Chain A
Amino acid sequence: MKRRDFIKTTVGAGVGCGFIPMQSLFAQQAAGMTMYDKIWEAHEISYLGGVTSVLHVDRMMLPDIGPAAIKRLLDAGETIRNPELVWAVADHQVSTSPERYTNRSLNLGSVADDFPEMKEQLASMGIQVFGIDDPEQGIQHVVGPETGLTLPGMLMVAGDSHTCTHGAVGCVSWGGETAQNVLLTGTVIRERARNLRVNYTGTLGPWVRGKDMILHTIGTLGADAGNRCAVEYAGPLVRSLSVEGRMTICNLSIEMGAATGMVAPDDTTYEYVASREFAPRGELWDQALAYWRSLPTDDAAAFYRDETIDMTDVEPQVTWGISPEHVIGISERIPAPDDAPFEKRDAWRRALEYTKLTPGDTIADTPIDEVFIGSCAESRISDLRAAAEVVRGRRVAPNVLAWVIAGSQPVKRQAEAEGLDRIFRDAGFDWREPGCSKCYGSNGDLVAQGKRSVSNSNRNYVGRQGIDAITHLVSTPMAAAAAIAGRIVDVRRLMAGEIV
């Protein structure tokens, strides 16, 4: 049966994951298509009925342990189907200590170190491997767009859930895939998501940025709003953001349960992509650009759900609980469980118990122990510049442990060329080597047990940053301001000289 026939015959039948009726999913497609649907169909090898298809993969991205997976397959006599479409980078398990290059045992796993005998073999197969000595090494979701391995229109998959970050350049990207399947077949089997559009309107106040847009969105729509949805972020505010700002928004798509997040490519995107190491050049560039210009959602396309978020009067955001949806503006008070919708009261109670906060108190002035600036959410050069602007000429509060971790070696070099590292170091920050670090802690970088951390990363779950560690998610400048004040503060007031 062809898809269009299926649409006519089975709308409303329990398809999807078998659990969610995919009402009128494809019904309006004839009138116009969304970017997600265009890219999906451009990669469709076989349509299996319902919403399931087998899709071709343009890029498979592997973390530190990727080469181990490849080695297991090769040792078993298997063949990697499209090795030239595979790349791996050392990020989750590598040390962020400056000594990691000389004391290699500090790295709990590094693509370059674990299988030195494989290095040539992988290279000869065409697999790009960025070890800690590579000048482009960094967090995979920083490295992909930065090197041009991620391009508009691609279908890009990985194991890591924040793979949705790459959608900021106008591609479709998701995590949760098994390396074995993608490496051996070059394909994935997936169910098509519903289209959800988030339109941003209004204006951004001073020191309000992409991170606040997405945190406010998750707080407004809920951490499950993206369930089985591909989210397209749209509207003039998104257009006005740099590609780096768009990456922050797309990065947190998974925090509202979305299958992926994306922003349609535009001239800002093409300018960003042009001349990246792995980006096409010459005639190929012209050919690619012509195709990319056909990707944005058609005016007539219909969305399963269309939401508008007005950013006017939205303050810098800060989380108070253990889900990114537990978020308020910096001048607001900590909510009480009874303020929650009935079904969430239990969760709010548990959240407040874990974060040791009292309903009715202001979130501002909560004393903190640690500050982490880094992660795939916000560790690009524009993020570090914003942090440095806050930190310049100030000092980290006594008893606060504050780290800055550039998202990649190129970001780190650029920051050092601009003297940002000096600003951070002079203020009392640790300036460390690129990696995932304290956002996840699988390299051993942890927030001390039971301590309170302000972090510009993307997850504030129980134990995410360390045992019993409490995480407040904020934007990068808000994290910098907290480090200076030693407590959660409004970066706007700090910069206005109202807070010492």
Chain B
Amino acid sequence: MNSLKPDGLVQLTGIAAPFLRHDVLIDYIAPPQAGLHEHGAAQMPPTGEAANASGQRLQQAFPLDRYLADGSENPEFILNQTPWRNASILLAGRNFGIGGTQTPAAARLLGSGIRAVIAPSFGPVFLDDCIQAGLLPVILGQGQVEAIAAAAMAAPRRELTIDLQRQTISRPDIGPIAFQMNPRLRERFIGGLSDIEETIPFQREAEAFQRGHELRQPWIYRSTGDPR
């Protein structure tokens, strides 16, 4: 529904935060109840600083662990710690973003400064969400992700580089690791394209297709119901 226009991404260099928990649910990244809070707020609007603070919290990924019950930052949470709070890459566990709910999980990660997630596997709904929103999902073997995470723990401030052109991941202390990505998606991320930019070039073909389709399946187009 949002018309978020992702930025092009040829090369990303930044701090990579280890977050190797397996089976992280989409709902944990961006709980639907955050939306409920928004609606609650619609009925009883908070004012001033409270409004800003609660609005800001809603824009962050992992709000359940990022904040304590009183709304202050949870110092135990890795993304609240220096230097991880400035991370632009997340090193994740198996099945990152599993579950079927469409919460704005990818958008929340982007809103928290994360531009790419490296994991052994992703939940399918979340993966689609990443592609729509422009959050780069990179698949590496679990051993490779763990090795990068170990290096990140040992030298947290050393930055990781994801090169989409070369399809490699590297750090000064880690040789380039190759990853696979389908060419269309790679072009999509490099160009910062959205669905609409990918489909618009096919408009003339779409119109020609539809003329034939209307002849083959006229009932699709000739609706009998009462207009509303």
Out of B196, B221, B225, name the residue touching A185 (CB < 8 Å).
B196
**Is the pair B132, A14 in contact by a Cβ cutoff of 8 Å?**
no
**Is the pair A223, B33 in contact by a Cβ cutoff of 8 Å?**
no
Query: Is the CB of B190 closer than 8 A to any CB of chain A?
Result: no
Q: Give bound CA distance, A188 to B122, whole Å.
A: 22
Whether A178 contacts B1 in the complex (CB less than 8 A), given A18-B180, A45-B202, A284-B219, comes out as yes
Chain A residues whose CB sits within 8 angstroms of the CB of B32 once the complex forms: 440-442, 461, 463-464
Chain B residues whose CB sits within 8 angstroms of the CB of A179 once the complex forms: 1
**Is the pair B124, A130 in contact by a Cβ cutoff of 8 Å?**
no
Out of A46, A49, A181, name the residue touching B195 (CB < 8 Å).
A181
**Is the pair A280, B1 in contact by a Cβ cutoff of 8 Å?**
no
Binds B, one of A23-31, A146-154, A475-483: A146-154
User: Which A residue sits closest to B127, measured CB to CB?
Assistant: A17
Query: Is the CB of B199 closer than 8 A to any CB of chain A?
Result: yes
Interface residues of B in 3-51 (CB under 8 A from A): 3, 21-23, 25, 27-28, 31-33, 35-36, 39-40, 42-43
**Is the pair B182, A18 in contact by a Cβ cutoff of 8 Å?**
yes
Q: Give bound CA distance, A54 to B129, whole Å.
A: 18
Interface residues of A in 55-76 (CB under 8 A from B): 56, 58, 65, 69, 72
Query: Is the CB of A241 closer than 8 A to any CB of chain B?
Result: no
Q: Give bound CA distance, A347 to B218, whole Å.
A: 50
Q: Shortest Cβ distance from A470 into chain B, in angstroms?
A: 13
Query: Is the CB of A444 closer than 8 A to any CB of chain B?
Result: yes
Q: Shortest Cβ distance from B222 into chain A, in angstroms?
A: 7
User: Which B residue sits closest to A73, measured CB to CB?
Assistant: B3
Binds A, one of B53-61, B144-152, B209-217: B209-217
Give A450-473 as 1s and 0s: 1 = Cβ < 8 Å from B's Cβ atoms: 000000000101111011000000
Out of A280, A343, A444, name the residue touching B43 (CB < 8 Å).
A444
Chain B residues whose CB sits within 8 angstroms of the CB of A444 once the complex forms: 36, 39-40, 43
Binds A, one of B82-90, B98-106, B107-115: B98-106
Q: Give bound CA distance, A228 to B122, whole Å.
A: 11
Chain B residues whose CB sits within 8 angstroms of the CB of A185 once the complex forms: 196, 199-200, 202-203, 206
Out of B102, B182, B213, B228, name the residue touching A17 (CB < 8 Å).
B182
Q: Give bound CA distance, A459 to B125, whole Å.
A: 15
Chain B residues whose CB sits within 8 angstroms of the CB of A462 once the complex forms: 25, 27-28, 31, 64
Give A1-29 as 1s and 0s: 1 = Cβ < 8 Å from B's Cβ atoms: 00000000000001111110000000000
Query: Is the CB of A310 closer than 8 A to any CB of chain B?
Result: no
Whether A442 contacts B36 in the complex (CB less than 8 A), given A159-B102, A462-B27, comes out as yes
**Is the pair B227, A126 in contact by a Cβ cutoff of 8 Å?**
yes
Chain A residues whose CB sits within 8 angstroms of the CB of B128 once the complex forms: 176
Give B168-200 as 1s and 0s: 1 = Cβ < 8 Å from A's Cβ atoms: 000000000000111111100000001110111
Binds B, one of A195-203, A252-260, A356-364, A373-381: A252-260
Q: Shortest Cβ distance from A83 into chain B, in angstroms?
A: 12
Chain A residues whose CB sits within 8 angstroms of the CB of B70 once the complex forms: none
User: Which B residue sits closest to A323, measured CB to CB?
Assistant: B99
Chain B residues whose CB sits within 8 angstroms of the CB of A186 once the complex forms: 206, 210
Chain B residues whose CB sits within 8 angstroms of the CB of A151 once the complex forms: 219-220
Chain A residues whose CB sits within 8 angstroms of the CB of B21 once the complex forms: 346
Query: Is the CB of B74 closer than 8 A to any CB of chain A?
Result: no
Chain B residues whose CB sits within 8 angstroms of the CB of A228 once the complex forms: 124
Query: Is the CB of A336 closer than 8 A to any CB of chain B?
Result: no
Number of interface residues of A (CB under 8 A): 91
**Is the pair A257, B125 in contact by a Cβ cutoff of 8 Å?**
yes
Number of A-B contacts (CB under 8 A): 213
Query: Is the CB of B72 closer than 8 A to any CB of chain A?
Result: no
Give A183-209 as 1s and 0s: 1 = Cβ < 8 Å from B's Cβ atoms: 011111100000000000000000000
Chain B residues whose CB sits within 8 angstroms of the CB of A279 once the complex forms: 224
Q: Shortest Cβ distance from A187 into chain B, in angstroms?
A: 5
Query: Is the CB of B139 closer than 8 A to any CB of chain A?
Result: yes
Chain A residues whose CB sits within 8 angstroms of the CB of B28 once the complex forms: 462
Whether A46 contacts B202 in the complex (CB less than 8 A), given A17-B185, A176-B102, comes out as yes
**Is the pair A147, B225 in contact by a Cβ cutoff of 8 Å?**
yes
**Is the pair A14, B125 in contact by a Cβ cutoff of 8 Å?**
no
**Is the pair A446, B225 in contact by a Cβ cutoff of 8 Å?**
no
Most buried by B among A147, A153, A463: A463
**Is the pair A161, B100 in contact by a Cβ cutoff of 8 Å?**
yes
Chain B residues whose CB sits within 8 angstroms of the CB of A147 once the complex forms: 225
Q: Give bound CA distance, A285 to B220, whole Å.
A: 11
Most buried by B among A19, A322, A441, A466: A19
Chain B residues whose CB sits within 8 angstroms of the CB of A416 once the complex forms: none
Pairs A–B under 8 Å by Cβ, sample size 5: A130-B228, A227-B124, A277-B226, A346-B23, A461-B99
The 9 closest A-B CB pairs, nearest first, are A18-B182, A280-B219, A181-B195, A463-B33, A254-B100, A18-B181, A278-B225, A181-B196, A461-B27
Where the two chains meet, the residues of A that have a C-beta atom closer than 8 Å to any C-beta of B are 14-19, 43, 45-46, 48-50, 52, 54, 56, 58, 65, 69, 72, 81-82, 84-85, 93, 108, 123, 126, 128-130, 134, 147-149, 151, 153-154, 159-161, 175-181, 184-189, 223-224, 226-228, 254-255, 257, 259, 277-281, 284-285, 287-288, 291, 322-323, 343-344, 346-347, 440-444, 446, 459, 461-464, 466-467
Given contacts A85-B221, A178-B2, 18 further A-B contacts (CB under 8 A): A45-B206, A45-B209, A50-B184, A54-B202, A126-B227, A160-B102, A178-B195, A181-B199, A189-B195, A224-B95, A226-B124, A280-B224, A284-B218, A323-B99, A343-B22, A442-B39, A462-B31, A462-B64
Where the two chains meet, the residues of B that have a C-beta atom closer than 8 Å to any C-beta of A are 1-3, 21-23, 25, 27-28, 31-33, 35-36, 39-40, 42-43, 64, 94-95, 98-102, 121-125, 127-129, 131-132, 137, 139, 180-186, 194-196, 198-200, 202-203, 205-206, 209-210, 213, 216-228
